[in-house]
Amino acid sequence: MRSLTMLLPSLVLLAGAQPVFAKCKCAPTDDCWPSVSKWTALNDTVDGKLVQNQPLAEACYQGPGYNAKQCQSIASNWADNTWLADSPIGYSYPLVDTCPPINASVAAYPPCELGNSPLYTIKATQAHDVAAGIKFAKENNVRLVIKNTGHDISQPLSIWMKTIRNGLDYHETFVSSDGSCHSDWNGSAITIGGGYVWQDAYDFAAKYDHVVVGGGDPTVGCIGGFLQGGGHGSLSHEFGLGTDQVLEYQVVLASGDIVKANACQNTDLFTALRGGGGGTYGVVLSATVKAYPTRPTLYHSLTITGLNRNSSAVLNATANMISKYPAIVDEGFAGTALLTPTYGPWRYMSPFIKFLANDFSAAINHAKGVMNREIVNDLLPGNGTDYHVESEWHTYPSWHAWYAATHHTSDGSKQPMMASRFFGKQSLVSQQENIAELLHILATETGEGVHTTSSSSTLLNIVAGGKVLEDAPHTSVNPAWRKAYLLLQRVDMWPANAGSQEIQQVKEELTTRKLAAMKNLASGMGTYVNEADPYDIEWKEDWFGDQYDWLVS
């Protein structure tokens, strides 16, 4: 999730005239910062698509941009991932909180600033714009970042990929673009030609009665951080990670050259772009991914609502279920469960699916039998006394029919900080009490005066196991993915009126206490680079495993 700036190795050689100890890149306050005429020349090169960014919530602050009505509208959209993705500097998390949409005339906030957000953005619509941005950044030694939806956080110049839209293409069978790369994939494929989001790709695939492996949330971008960093969703269990599906990328290199990367050409680049993370190895213009015929989809919705404010019963029941997760994962269930007091009492909600081989009742009954035996039956004795349990089943004729009928966008709350960890099968089945204790640690704060809001939550992603356990050639994901059964995530939010000290404390508790407790129960496992705690000091091992040195090289 951390944006690494583009590595421009040739720069080091070209910059021979520069003192060795000079700062790496020019910042706006430096003498070497490009003049206005240079920016204007860049703007001409990209046909007027260069914008100078202003903080999103500028309207909330005294000054020439002040506008109370606009401020109110910004404040009400502040948590909407689609609204954020529509701005060149809208980021989902960690929150860029250098200019929050607060009532600045009453709250004692620092002045509104861009923070880490880029000063300029090219709203790229074609490969030429991308190459022009790379060339400018190189010649002027300014930092460059690539933004797609901004579901990641990333300063000076950014290239916005979301505005590149060269269409989606369906291929009955995959043939590499030059026709010479024989892959062992004889199925269908879809080429995603620009800054599309998964909702676009799902709808497109559905027209051909196919599915693709994308994100649980429809607003995540396809070809950027998701595919390049790993990519999980409700179908990754069945078919492997998002990145495992990529057959070919079209990429703009730091040299400005446009190349293809697949199993035959530029294989190092292909491998790095399949798991090594976004924003580092090149700018991806398009990706061709495997597509699979759709199938009937079994849906199980389980909700456990605490009957009093005491979290203990729901947390304990959840720990018990987590210890049984391997059994339902091996049966093919997948999805993301949520454990939170957002709705008042503590609640566990799991909207899991199984992508069925067929809709014969024997297959459906088998799956239901496993879920009831492993999960639901244990909850029944406490139903009505400790909590209320609802267990519902539904069969949909296709995966898309299920996706369309159920809710997938993240709730309208900011997701300022998260920490996460992979758990292997053994660590889940053998540590039920420790996991119960962990869930209590994740749900509470110890520091005096430290508060998180009730939208803070624990997410239980069963998006691995199955096909994810099989290593795929030419991938560079954290090898821990290939042992993972659960991706446990903790998301902590602070109250809107929290001061900087309190925010700092919430962050510290998340890293030093909560993440540490997760690591304790899953040592050596690491986590998913796209959903990791940016303050984890062991980020190299935890995000990249033993792939790090190769990726750097």
Ligand X SMILES: *[C@@H]1O[C@H](CO)[C@@H](O)[C@H](O)[C@H]1NC(C)=O
The site for ligand X (CB under 6 A) is made up of 39, 43, 48, 50-52, 68, 71-72, 103, 105-106, 186, 310, 312-313, 316, 376, 380, 383-384, 389, 391, 433, 436
Alpha helices in 357-450 (DSSP H): 361-371, 377-379, 399-405, 425-429, 432-443
Three-state DSSP at 535 gives: coil
531 binds ligand FAD, rule: CB under 6 A: yes
Tell me, letter by letter, the H, E, C secondary structure of 288-316. EEEEEECCCEEEEEEEEEECCCCCHHHHH
Tell me, letter by letter, the H, E, C secondary structure of 494-522. CCCCCCHHHHHHHHHHHHHHHHHHHHHHC
By the 8 A CB rule, do 236 and 464 touch?
yes
Q: How far is the CB of 42 from ligand FAD (least distance, A)?
A: 19
Q: Judged by CB, which is closer to ligand X: 188, or 478?
A: 188
283 binds ligand FAD, rule: CB under 6 A: yes
Q: Judged by CB, which is closer to ligand X: 232, or 347?
A: 347
Q: Judged by CB, which is closer to ligand FAD: 352, or 387?
A: 352
233 binds ligand FAD, rule: CB under 6 A: yes
Q: Are strands 387-396 and 417-424 parallel, antiparallel or unpaired?
A: unpaired
Total residues interacting with ligand FAD, rule: CB under 6 A: 37
- Encoding tokens for residue 138? 């190189």
Q: Specify the stretch interacting with ligand FAD by CB under 6 A; choose among 181-189, 217-225, 258-266, 513-521.
A: 217-225
Q: Judged by CB, which is closer to ligand X: 213, or 419?
A: 213
3 binds ligand FAD, rule: CB under 6 A: yes
Whether omega for the bond prior to residue 94 falls within 30 degrees of 0, making it cis, is yes
Q: Left (φ > 0), alpha (ψ -120 to 50) or beta: where does 222 sit? A: alpha
326 binds ligand FAD, rule: CB under 6 A: no
Q: Judged by CB, which is closer to ligand X: 471, or 538?
A: 471
Q: In angstroms, what CA-CA distances link 116 with 26, 107, 156, 204?
A: 14, 22, 9, 35
Cα 130 from chain centroid (whole Å) = 23
Write the DSSP symbol of residue 455: T
Instruction: Draw the binding track, 136-175, toward ligand FAD (x: CB under 6 A; -: no contact).
Output: ---------xxxxxxxx-x------x--------------
Using alpha carbons, select from 282, 230, 278 the residue that is nearest to residue 260: 282
With b for 16 or more beta-carbon neighbours within 10 A and e for fewer, the 73-100 pattern comes to: ebbebbbbbebbbebbbbbbbbbbebbb
Write the DSSP symbol of residue 206: H
Residue 458 binds which entry of ligand X, ligand FAD, none, CB below 5-8 Å type-dependent: none
Instruction: Draw the binding track, 429-468, toward ligand FAD (x: CB under 6 A; -: no contact).
Output: ----------------------------------------
Residue 530 binds which entry of ligand X, ligand FAD, none, CB below 5-8 Å type-dependent: ligand FAD
- Encoding tokens for residue 298? 């079994």
Q: Judged by CB, which is closer to ligand FAD: 154, or 452?
A: 154
The whole-angstrom separation of Cα 178 and Cα 168 is 19
Q: How far is the CB of 545 from ligand FAD (least distance, A)?
A: 17
Contacts of ligand FAD in 403-422 (CB under 6 A) = 410
Q: How far is the CB of 291 from ligand FAD (least distance, A)?
A: 18
Q: Judged by CB, which is closer to ligand FAD: 297, or 391?
A: 297
Please work out, in degrees rounded to the nearest 5, the angle formed at the alpha carbon of residue 489 by the alpha carbons of 483 and 492. 165
Q: Which of 223, 375, 435, 460 binds ligand FAD (CB under 6 A)?
A: 223
The whole-angstrom separation of Cα 272 and Cα 278 is 10
492 binds ligand FAD, rule: CB under 6 A: no
Q: Judged by CB, which is closer to ligand X: 61, or 399?
A: 61
Q: Judged by CB, which is closer to ligand FAD: 141, or 527?
A: 527
Binding residues (CB under 6 A) for ligand FAD: these are: 1, 3, 81, 92-93, 145-152, 154, 161, 215-217, 219-221, 223-226, 229-233, 278-279, 283-284, 410, 530-531
